[in-house]
């Protein structure tokens, strides 16, 4: 059998092909093995694989982004709380619930977050009452969910927080919050480690304009209210760490100075050499006013004096200075007695600035002609009235000077917040002032302005506060009477027998000035206020006398147990406040509200909130003291047992109260 060459060739070819195939396969296997070793796969080989690779890259990328977002969130939200001061529990709860509500109701934008103080301890210390409102919103959106279901959903979303002991849903949908005792203990203990400190906040530059009497006129009860309220607002804001500028915007400029100077020149021709002995500036004013009204020549001379004064003629300036000084001295007596601090910056300060502001308003096109006057509208649409910036005779008005003043306060003083404390009658004036300042772009939304108005002072007859003869009551006389009444009260209680004369005098002043201030502050300032020494000096109810007594009593407890300041410090280091008794915890919870009570006052600048709070401390303390012995004595009066935790609670109470007194301007005495 012969095999043809063709066949041989054919098989040879087959064999070569096969060999090539084998070589190729070998190479591929090798490649694959290497890939497995080095863990690299050439994705371009397989489109499916390529897609999966891309998908994988994307997922990895997304994962990194998500993880970073999560870690950013968890780092940023719970800012480490300051452990050197009491925390504002209500604020913390508002944050916690705001987050919980946002996650529980993602479909509602800007859901309401309502946290209130519980008024019945059975239903928790605080309540979140948002569920009812949210259910209502859902109803409007066409979803039917009961408030209770909403409340339960919120509850599920509340992140655990050290403040919260437990939560519960009650009634139609209230969420009751119980404050954690351990948190409360830590929080209240800061008053020993760091003193009673204000809650944290950003520091603002604040101008408070208060008191502001008129030169050459008597200060009256209206000024008294402004002075007392303004002083307390300043004290509160200073305590909160703000940079407060207390301004006494006295009325030291105007046409009345013409007649006063003219009269001065007639009565004391040698005024430039010798200080004129004006003892009663008020009658001096009345005399000159009388001449001004009746004597045409005098009137003319008075006007020329004004012109001279306004052109800063030295002799006239001197006369003006002398008159101001007399007034200033009189005012200072009252400020000293009431412990008021103010920087005098009267209307005269703004003379040149008024020229400027008028020029600017003119250039800005804000002024309109009106029967010879130049007026500026704050808001033309409303049934408003305009500011008279320039009178028809070219003179300026209060409106002008207030515009110059607010400009100075914003631009030169860099104020973030301006507060004017005046009677309620000026509300419209300030409304227009703020509108005008906004129109010119001077006042922006970054600057807070408040007119803090107060109601008129009435006599016990509910009529305008006057003396029996119908004259305005002089403030100095009023203070004198207060002192007398206070002494009477002390004597009535036979305190004069117990106290040394010095102690008695301190108690007398503390009670007299304290009650005048406290009675003013403890009433809602927006209302009319009946001035009554009898009521002020009552020793029951929410009065200065009651609080001062209460404080003295609290302070005396530690004293009885022979604890002085140093010993209390030591005690605070080794013991903690006792919170086991229900009344102990109740008192502590009242004290823990200190930060939120202060913040509440900054919102509406109504100091009666703070007065009510101190009063609540005092009454809660009484409750506590009635059921919890702090110091036990035997029949001979010797101390048998001291409950250290309660002594500390007593001390904490005293410290918080003292801080409130400071703000309210009360000066407690250790014995009375």
Partner 1 sequence: MVQSDDLTKSLVATLGLSEQKAKETLKNVPLTQTLSSILHEIREVVLPEGTGVLLYHFATKTKPQIAHHLPLIVKYIVTKKLDTTLRVEKAIEYALSHIKNINPPEFEQFCGVGVVVTPEEIENVVEQYLKEYKNELVEKRYKFNAGPLMQKVRGKLPWADGKAVKNEVDVQIFDLLGPKTEEDLAPAAKTDKKGKTTKATKPPVKEQVANGDVPALTILDVMKKVSFHLPGQNYKTDGYVVTENTERLLKEHLKVTGGKVQTRFPPEPNGILHIGHAKAININFGYAAANNGVCYLRYDDTNPEKEEEKFFVGIKDMVEWLGYKPYKITHSSDYFDQLYEWAVELIKAGLAYVCHQSADEMKGFNPQPSPWRDRPIKESLQLFQDMKNGKIDEGMATLRMKITLEEGKLDPVAYRVRFTPHHRTGDKWCIYPTYDYTHCLCDSIENITHSLCTKEFQSRRSSYYWLCNALKVYCPVQWEYGRLNFNYTVVSKRKIGKLIDEKIVKDWDDPRLFTLTALRRRGFPAEAINNFCAQLGVTGAQSTVDPSMLEAYVRDYLNNTAPRRMVVLEPLEITITNFPFDKPVEIPVPNFPNKPELGSHSVTFGPKIYIEKSDFLEDGNKNYRRLTKTQAVGLRHAGYVLSVTEIKKDSSGDVIGVVCTCTEVDKVATKPKAFIHWVSEPVEIEVRLYSTLFKHKNPEDPSEVPGGFLSDCNTDTLNVLKSKADKSLRVAKVFDKFQFERNGFFSVDPDTTEGKLIFNQTVGLKEDAGK
Q: How far is the CB of 235 from partner 1 (least distance, A)?
A: 39
> Max Cα separation, the chain?
165
Nearer to partner 1, 49 or 66 (CB): 66
Answer for the pair 486, 539: CB distance below 8 angstroms, yes or no.
Answer: no
Shortest spacing between CB 55 and partner 1, in angstroms: 9
Q: Which is nearer to partner 1, 21 or 57 (CB)?
A: 57
- Indicate the residue among 44 and 381 with the shorter CB distance to partner 1: 44
Q: Supply the minimum distance, in Å, between the C-beta of residue 67 and partner 1.
A: 9
CB-nearer residue toward partner 1: 17 or 56:
56
Least separation, in Å, of the C-beta of 73 and partner 1? 8
Q: Quote the CA–CA distance of 250 and 555 in Å, as a whole number.
A: 41
Classified as helix, coil or strand, 128 is: strand
* Separation of alpha carbons 236 and 599, rounded Å: 10
Strands 115-117 and 126-128: antiparallel
Residue 370: which residues within 8 A CB-CB, separation 6 or more? Answer: 386
Residue among 103 and 524 whose Cβ is closer to partner 1? 103
- How many angstroms separate the CA atoms of 244 and 236, rounded? 10
Strands 174-179, 126-128: parallel, antiparallel or unpaired by DSSP? antiparallel
In which residue are the tokens 């409106």 written? 399
Lookup result for tokens 């009204």: 293
Residue number with CB closer to partner 1 (57 or 116): 57
CB nearer partner 1, residue 62 or residue 341: 62
Shorter beta-carbon distance to partner 1: residue 107 or 565: 107
Which alpha helices (H) appear in 377-474, and where do they start and end?
Answer: 398-407, 427-439
C-beta of 373: minimal distance to partner 1 in Å? 30
Sheet architecture: strand order including 115-117? 115-117, 126-128, 174-179, 164-170
Residue 63 Cβ vs partner 1, minimum distance, rounded to whole Å: 8
Given a contact cutoff of 8 angstroms between Cβ atoms, the answer to whether 358 and 389 are in contact is yes
CB closer to partner 1, 30 vs 63: 63
The nearest distance, CB 130 to partner 1, in angstroms, is: 18
Task: Compute the least distance from the CB of residue 109 to partner 1, in Å.
Answer: 5
How is residue 160 annotated by DSSP?
P
User: Does residue 465 sit in helix, strand or coil?
Assistant: coil
Radius of gyration over every alpha carbon of the chain, rounded to an integer in angstroms = 38
Distance of closest approach, residue 133 Cβ to partner 1, in angstroms: 18
481's enclosing H/E stretch is helix 475-492
Quick check: 467 and 473 in contact, CB under 8 A? yes
Beta strands 205-209 and 417-423 are parallel
Length of the chain in residues, anyone?
A: 672
**Crossing angle (nearest 10°) for helices 398-407 and 351-363:** 90
Tell me whether residue 59 or residue 272 sits nearer to partner 1 (CB atom). Answer: 59
Instruction: Compute the least distance from the CB of residue 458 to partner 1, in Å.
Output: 49
| Interface with partner 1 (CB under 8 A) | 57-59, 61-62, 64-66, 69, 109-110
Taking the complex as a whole, the smallest distance from the CB of residue 367 to partner 1 amounts, in Å, to: 21
Q: Using the minimum distance from each CB to partner 1, give the nearer residue, 75 or 144.
A: 75
C-alpha 441/C-alpha 188 separation (Å) is 45
Of 357, 390, 389, 254, the closest CA to residue 309 belongs to 254
**What span, in angstroms and rounded, lies between the C-alpha atoms of 286 and 293?**
11
For tokens 């913040």, name the residue.
599
Three-class DSSP category at 598: helix
Taking the complex as a whole, the smallest distance from the CB of residue 76 to partner 1 amounts, in Å, to 12
Q: What is the C-alpha to C-alpha distance for residues 355 and 401, in angstroms, rounded to an integer? A: 10
Nearer residue to partner 1 within complex by CB, 63 or 640: 63
Query: Mapping DSSP to helix (H, G, I), strand (E, B) and coil, where does residue 583 land?
Result: helix
Residue whose token pair is 């020993």: 192
> What are the helix and strand counts (H, E) for the chain?
24, 16
Question: For residues 54 and 467, which CB has a smaller minimum distance to partner 1 in the complex?
Answer: 54
Give whichever of 102 and 530 is closer to partner 1, judged by the CB atom: 102
Q: Which neighbouring-strand residues pair with 247?
A: 209, 343
Residue whose CB is less far from partner 1, 58 or 633: 58
Q: What is the DSSP string of 318-357?
A: HHHHHHHHHHHHHHHHHHHHHT---EE--GGGGHHHHHHH
**Contact between 188 and 591 (Cβ < 8 Å):** yes
Minimum distance from CB of 100 to partner 1 (Å)?
Answer: 17
3-state secondary structure of 659: helix
Min CB(98)–partner 1 separation in Å:
13
Is residue 496 classed as helix, strand or coil in its secondary structure?
helix
Smallest gap, in angstroms, from Cβ of residue 583 to partner 1?
46
Closest approach of Cβ 70 to partner 1, in Å?
A: 8
Q: Are 645 and 576 in contact (CB under 8 A)?
A: yes
Q: How far apart are CA 567 and CA 546, in angstroms?
A: 28
We find the least distance from the C-beta atom of residue 143 to partner 1, in angstroms, to be: 18
Cβ proximity to partner 1, 61 vs 318, nearer residue? 61
Output 5 or 109, the one with its CB closest to partner 1.
Answer: 109
Beta-bridge partners for 388: 375
> 260 near 322, Cβ under 8 Å?
no
């Amino acid at each position: 059998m012969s095999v043809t060459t063709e066949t041989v060739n054919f098989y040879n070819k087959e064999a070569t092909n096969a060999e090539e195939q084998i070589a190729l396969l070998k190479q591929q296997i090798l490649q694959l093995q290497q890939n497995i070793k080095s863990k690299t796969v050439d994705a371009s080989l397989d489109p499916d694989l390529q897609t999966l690779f891309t998908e994988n890259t994307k997922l990895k990328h997304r994962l990194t982004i998500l993880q970073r977002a999560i870690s950013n969130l968890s780092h940023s939200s719970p800012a480490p709380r300051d452990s050197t001061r009491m925390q504002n529990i209500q604020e913390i709860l508002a944050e916690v619930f705001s987050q919980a509500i946002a996650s529980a109701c993602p479909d509602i934008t800007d859901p309401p977050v309502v946290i209130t103080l519980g008024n019945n301890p059975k239903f928790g210390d605080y309540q979140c009452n948002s569920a009812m409102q949210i259910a209502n919103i859902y109803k409007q959106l066409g979803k039917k969910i009961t408030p209770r279901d909403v409340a339960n959903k919120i509850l599920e979303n509340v992140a655990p927080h050290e403040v919260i002991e437990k939560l519960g849903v009650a009634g139609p949908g209230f969420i009751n919050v119980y404050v954690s005792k351990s948190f409360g203990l830590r929080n209240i203990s800061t008053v020993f480690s760091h003193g009673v400190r204000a809650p944290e906040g950003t520091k603002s530059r604040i101008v408070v304009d208060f008191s502001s009497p008129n030169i050459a006129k008597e200060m009256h009860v209206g000024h008294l209210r402004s002075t007392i309220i303004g002083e307390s607002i300043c004290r509160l804001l200073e305590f909160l760490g703000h940079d407060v500028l207390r301004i006494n915007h006295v009325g030291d400029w105007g046409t009345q100075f013409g007649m006063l100077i003219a009269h001065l020149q007639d009565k004391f021709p040698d005024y430039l050499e010798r200080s004129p002995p004006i003892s009663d500036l008020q009658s001096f004013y009345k005399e000159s006013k009388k001449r001004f009204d009746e004597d045409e020549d005098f009137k003319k001379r008075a006007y020329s004096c004004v012109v001279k004064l306004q052109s800063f003629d030295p002799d006239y300036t001197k006369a003006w200075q002398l008159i101001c000084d007399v007034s200033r001295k009189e005012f200072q007596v009252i400020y000293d007695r009431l412990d008021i601090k103010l920087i005098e910056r009267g209307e005269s300060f703004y003379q040149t600035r008024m020229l400027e502001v008028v020029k600017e308003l003119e250039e800005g096109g804000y002024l309109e002609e009106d029967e010879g006057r130049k007026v500026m509208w704050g808001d033309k649409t409303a049934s408003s009235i305009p500011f008279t910036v320039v009178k028809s005779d070219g003179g300026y008005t209060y409106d002008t000077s207030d515009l110059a003043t607010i400009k100075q306060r914003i631009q030169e003083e860099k104020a973030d917040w301006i507060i004017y404390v005046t009677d309620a009658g000026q509300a419209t004036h300030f409304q227009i002032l703020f509108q005008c300042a906004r129109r010119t772009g001077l006042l922006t939304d970054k600057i807070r302005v408040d007119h803090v108005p107060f109601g008129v002072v009435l006599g016990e007859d509910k009529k305008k506060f006057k003396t029996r003869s119908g004259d305005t009551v002089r403030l100095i006389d009023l203070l004198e009477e207060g002192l007398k009444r206070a002494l009477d009260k002390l004597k009535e209680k036979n305190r004069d027998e117990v106290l040394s004369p010095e102690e008695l005098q301190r108690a007398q002043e503390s009670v007299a000035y304290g009650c005048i201030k406290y009675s003013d502050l403890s009433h809602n300032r927006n209302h009319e206020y009946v001035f009554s020494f009898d009521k002020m000096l009552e020793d029951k109810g929410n009065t200065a006398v009651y609080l001062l007594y209460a404080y003295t009593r609290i302070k005396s407890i530690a004293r009885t147990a022979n604890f002085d300041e140093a010993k209390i410090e030591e005690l605070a280091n080794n013991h903690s406040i006792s919170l086991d008794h229900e009344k102990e915890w109740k008192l502590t919870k009242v004290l823990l509200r200190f930060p939120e009570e202060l913040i509440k006052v900054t919102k509406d600048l109504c100091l009666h909130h703070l007065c009510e709070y101190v009063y609540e401390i005092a009454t809660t303390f009484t409750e506590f003291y009635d059921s919890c012995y702090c110091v036990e004595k035997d029949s001979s009066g010797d101390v048998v047992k001291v409950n250290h935790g309660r002594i500390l609670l007593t001390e904490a109470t005293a410290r918080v109260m003292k801080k409130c007194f400071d703000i309210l301007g009360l000066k407690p005495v250790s014995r009375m």
